[in-house]
Amino acid sequence: MTSIIETRTVDPTTVVIADNIREPPSLDTDFVDSVRDGVLVPVLAYLDTDGTVTVIDGQRRTLAAREANLATIPVYIMGRDDALTADEADIERISTQFITNEHRTELRRSERARAIEQLSLAGLSATKIRSKKADIDHTLTAVTSRNALDQLDTHPDLTLDQAAILAKWDHDSEAVDRLLDALEEDGEGGFAHTAQWLEDTTAQREAVAEVAAPLDDGIEWTSTDPWGRAPSLTRYVTEAGTPATLDDVPAAHRLAYIVVEEHNACYDTDGNEVGDTHVDATIEWRVRDATQIGLMYEHEWKRLHPDHNPGDDIDLDAEAARAAARAEAEAQDKRATMRRVKALNKKATTAREVRLAHITSWLTRKTLPKDHKTAIAQFIAETMWSRHTMFGTFRQDGDAEKITADMLGIDKKEQVPEILAAATADRAQLIGLAVVLGAYESTIAKDSWRETYSRRGRTAYLDFLDEVTGYTLTDIEKAMTGTLDPDTIDLD
């Protein structure tokens, strides 16, 4: 369509309404009433080869005219190049709808996304669409999810790449809720950490879902250790003093604690990871309100029956069963402690991935931020004076030189001196800061949250990232600085 070639009045019931980038219109009574005396603004249309009038802009006015039983509506007939291919004709239609709608009621973000999708699928390049290639890729992912499009309209801070991530988790409503809550509570940083956590724990959550699926209705389950609110079944004895079994616990008092065990891959003599990490899940039965069903701890039973031994009628078998139960309870305590350590270590690993991605992105700038130059200079000087020994850190998970090269986007650490020699003054300052940041990062291990030896240095580093680069610290990173007790961190 290039220009108007004629004006007509046509019966609105005889026209065809073309596909539109807007959502299907809703006709309220006020709008229909507004056209009962006639449509004032002509709709845009073209003549099809068989003479059919096809509306490309003005679908709402056309439908309202039909609802109001108008005999005719004004139509601008646009010129059309019959030599265009179907894709080229679609591009022209979408472009016309996009331009005309932008100058009326602003398009919703979901409608913009749909328009970009249609233009891209029709073969229009990113340059001609006037959008970044990455934005188009994110858009094409986001439009696969009705929910992601709705969130674009209801969450003004949601970016296209975040909408694409929501679309990826469209099958998991809990994951989507977590992401949106993180965005609302902690902004972009919280969303990034949550998205990475979801990615890193996919196998664990799938294992939990597989074990939970066959449980009978009415059986509550959790994958977070219930601690004191529902002690382990192995801790209890019956009124006769014999170890309690699952048959002694009615369904309403059972709690299935689904325990996830991660069996790490092996390492060869050079420290390289070999084999796959295996995840499995099992049920550890817990009991709620045990006293209501006549169960008690063994020491309580002995206090109530000082002249008797639990399970006298069972004799030695009962004693053996109690001993086994105690051993199992102690083993469960040890396993619970180890599971908590592993879970917090995983949180530390996830946080490090997001932290390094943030630093790498921040270091792509051309110059140091003017309002933080003094703070940066003091940070570098203090590090060189007080912690110069860490610049040579080299261990399996903490090679300072390699971490620095990765932060700078350099393939091999041996290339850093050559790149530094050719760098401008501003770039050289950024590289110098990267060397310091890489040195700090090399000293942080996944279990640094539970040791205090290097806490002062870690605190200086993480506080610098927070105050100067805008990085959002997670709870596990706060634990590394000593400002949060790791025992208070939610593992879920």
CATH no. for residue 74? 3.90.1530
Domain membership of residue 258 (yes or no) is yes
Say whether both 350 and 483 belong to one domain.
Answer: yes
Which residues, 6+ apart, have CB-to-CB distance to 400 below 8 Å? 390, 391, 392, 393, 394, 438, 439, 441, 442
Domain membership of residue 35 (yes or no) is yes
Say whether both 92 and 113 belong to one domain.
Answer: no
Please report the pLDDT score of residue 336 as a whole number.
87
Give the C-alpha separation, 309 to 242, whole Å.
10
From 201, 223, 243, give the residue that closes a domain. Answer: 201
Q: Quickly count: other Cβ atoms within 10 Å of residue 100's Cβ.
A: 13
Say whether both 190 and 224 belong to one domain.
Answer: no
Per the structure, the count of domains in the chain is 4
What is the residue whose two structure tokens read 């996009």?
A: 98
Per-residue pLDDT tens digits of the chain, which is 492 residues long = 457 788 889 999 999 887 764 556 677 887 888 888 898 888 888 888 788 888 888 888 899 999 999 999 998 888 776 656 656 555 565 555 555 554 455 545 555 555 555 544 445 454 544 455 556 566 666 667 677 767 777 777 777 778 788 888 888 888 889 888 988 888 888 889 999 998 888 888 888 888 888 888 778 898 888 877 889 999 999 888 888 999 999 999 999 999 888 776 666 666 666 666 788 899 999 999 999 998 999 888 887 776 667 666 544 456 557 667 878 888 888 888 899 999 999 999 999 999 999 999 999 998 999 999 999 999 999 999 998 888 888 877 788 899 999 999 998 889 988 988 988 999 999 999 999 999 999 999 999 998 888 889 999 999 999 999 999 999 999 999 999 999 999 887
Say whether both 11 and 54 belong to one domain.
Answer: yes
Give the C-alpha separation, 195 to 178, whole Å.
9
Please work out, in degrees rounded to the nearest 5, the angle formed at the alpha carbon of residue 22 by the alpha carbons of 18 and 26: 95
Q: Quickly count: other Cβ atoms within 10 Å of residue 474's Cβ.
A: 23
For the chain, percent helix, then strand, then coil, each to nearest 5? Answer: 55, 10, 35
Please report the pLDDT score of residue 28 as a whole number.
80
Residue 154 burial by Cβ neighbours in a 10 Å radius (0-12, 13-18, 19+): exposed
At residue 424, the 3 state secondary structure works out as coil
Domain membership of residue 326 (yes or no) is no
Say whether both 401 and 437 belong to one domain.
Answer: yes
Say whether both 101 and 133 belong to one domain.
Answer: no
Say whether both 103 and 114 belong to one domain.
Answer: no
At residue 23, the 3 state secondary structure works out as coil
Q: Where are the extended beta strands (E) located within 24-101?
A: 43-47, 53-57, 73-78
Say whether both 360 and 462 belong to one domain.
Answer: yes
For 469, the token pair is 């680069």
Give the C-alpha separation, 119 to 56, whole Å.
15
What is the residue whose two structure tokens read 């091999």?
A: 412
Domain range enclosing 273: 215-314
Q: What is the CA radius of gyration of the chain?
A: 33
From 174, 201, 228, give the residue that closes a domain. Answer: 201
Give the C-alpha separation, 487 to 341, whole Å.
10
Say whether both 471 and 361 belong to one domain.
Answer: yes
Please report the pLDDT score of residue 261 as a whole number.
85
Say whether both 260 and 363 belong to one domain.
Answer: no
